[in-house]
């Protein structure tokens, strides 16, 4: 069976891996309940990395929704991520309710390292009906 996921050498492999990681988080949260496996920081970092790869803006309100946590928790986590150098927040001077959020260079580098290491472990993943290499 041929995988429909891009090979690592395609320009979309980072996006593909990130989308799979986000879908995994949603499945785990849905089955086990997000309150049991809450990880707002990871959910928001994944969303920010995906947005960076797709070259699109992310605003705090939508990022908080992606956190799979109460908005108060998500906002607190955003402050912590900013305080620890992972993200930058840019207030819209015309509408202070709008706050654009992006990864810092350090945050982007660390997320890129994770995605590359996942790719090195074995991307694209084998299909269930395919034997491991060498068998």
pLDDT class of 122 with cuts at 50, 70, 90:
confident
List pLDDT tens digits, range 62-71: 999 999 999 9
This prediction has a pTM of 0.80
Does residue 74 contact residue 49 with C-beta atoms inside 8 Å?
A: no
Percent of the chain with pLDDT over 70: 82
Q: Encode burial over 19-55: b for 16+ CB neighbours within 10 A, e otherwise.
A: bebbeebeeebeeeebeeebbbbebbbbbbbbbbbee
The angle that helices 13-32 and 105-122 make with each other, rounded to 10 degrees, is: 90
Q: Going from the N-terminus, what domains does the chain have, and what CATH number goes with each? A: 13-122 (1.10.10.10)
When pLDDT is averaged across residues 94-117 and rounded to a whole number, the result is 93
List pLDDT tens digits, range 49-62: 999 999 999 999 99
When pLDDT is averaged across residues 36-56 and rounded to a whole number, the result is 95
Number of H helices, E strands in the chain: 5, 2
Query: What is residue 21's predicted lDDT score, i.e. its pLDDT?
Result: 92
């Amino acid at each position: 069976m041929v995988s429909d996921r891009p090979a690592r050498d395609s320009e979309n492999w980072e996006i593909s891996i990130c989308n799979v990681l986000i879908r995994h988080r949603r499945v785990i949260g849905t089955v086990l309940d997000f309150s049991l496996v809450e990880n707002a920081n990871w959910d928001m970092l994944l969303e920010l990395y995906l947005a960076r790869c797709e070259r699109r803006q992310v605003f705090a309100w939508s990022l908080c929704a992606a956190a799979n946590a109460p908005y108060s928790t998500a906002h607190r986590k955003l402050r912590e991520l900013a305080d620890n150098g992972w993200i930058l927040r840019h207030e819209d001077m015309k509408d202070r309710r709008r706050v654009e959020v992006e990864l810092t260079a350090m945050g982007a580098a660390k997320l890129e390292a994770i995605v590359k290491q996942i790719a090195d472990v074995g991307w694209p993943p084998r299909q269930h009906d395919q034997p491991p290499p060498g068998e």
